[in-house]
Structure 1
Amino acid sequence: MDADQGNLFAGVPVGAADEVFTALLERRGLKIERIVSNGQASPPGFWYDSQQEEWVLLLEGSAAVQIEGEAAPRLLQPGTWLRLPAHCRHRVAWTEAGRPTVWLAVHYDGC
């Protein structure tokens, strides 16, 4: 077996028109990806509704995630993590426009 190595901050796209999703590891029932946002937000009325659980860690920048049924979006700053159960409807309210927002997302099958 060969070991892999990388750097989450290598090649971070700056000013991309769309969010950039980079798969880092994929196995049955598991996906780990880097997400880079440059001021993007979910389109009006759009909600993520995943069959998998999701755990996200904000590494750089800032963002707010709106969870359906909650009065206000949750602010995420570097070091903030958020666990979203399967079918927890959520959307990205905003991401920082002045610099890239870098997320580490782990998608996995629940118990």
Structure 2
Amino acid sequence: MLNNLFSPLPAATAQEHFDELLTRPGLCIERIVSHGQASPAGFWYDQPNGEWVLLLTGSAGLRLEHESCERVLQPGDFLEIPARCRHRVEWTDSARVTVWLAVHFGDS
């Protein structure tokens, strides 16, 4: 069980690292650690539940399908992504670790 969001951080790998911090009916809180990853070309997340994300370290470009430009996230930036809102991670910082806190909520 994690006691600190920043320690220990997993080493860089080809895939993002996901840690579930808390799960309850209709709720999942997770830490996501990225080292330069992005969504695969042409891939869009389309989740049945809402998601609230907070960028803790690093930086990232997040794109919502209905918007013409990506949103550049810096530490402290947060965003609610409604259920079924197609979105993708365009990029994450390749020079420093990017740590996200994601809260998934809903009935599914």
Smaller-chain TM-score bracket? over 0.9
Aligned residue pairs: how many? 107
**1:14 is paired with a residue of what secondary structure?**
coil
Runs of 4+ in 1 over 2 A off after TM superposition: none
State which structure, 1 or 2, has the greater radius of gyration over its C-alpha atoms: 1
Please list every run of 5 or more consecutive structure 2 residues that lacks an aligned counterpart in the other structure: none
- Equivalent in the alignment of 2:105: 108
> How do residues 11-50 of structure 1 correspond to structure 2 at under 5 angstroms?
11-50=8-47
Cα distance in 1 for partners of 2:105, 2:98 equals 22
CA deviation after TM superposition for structure 1 residue 5, in Å: 7.0
Q: Is 1:70 equivalent to 2:58 in the alignment?
A: no
TM-score w.r.t. structure 1 length? Answer: 0.92
C-alpha RMSD of the superposition: 1.4
Q: 1:14–1:100: 8 Å Cα contact kept in structure 2?
A: no
Conserved 8 A contact 1:14-1:99: no
> Which residue of the partner structure matches residue 78 of structure 2?
81
State whether residues 2 and 21 of structure 2, in contact with CA within 8 Å, keep that contact through their aligned partners in structure 1: no
CA shift at 1:6, angstroms?
1.1
Q: Give the TM-score of the pair, scaled to structure 2.
A: 0.94
> What is aligned with 2:91?
94
1:60 equivalent in structure 2: 57
Identity %: 58
What do residues 51-99 of structure 1 show as CA deviations (whole Å, max 9, x unaligned)?
A: 1100000000000101002111001000000100000000000000011
Could you say what secondary structure the match of 1:16 adopts? coil
Q: Distance in 2 between matches of 1:16 and 1:78?
A: 22
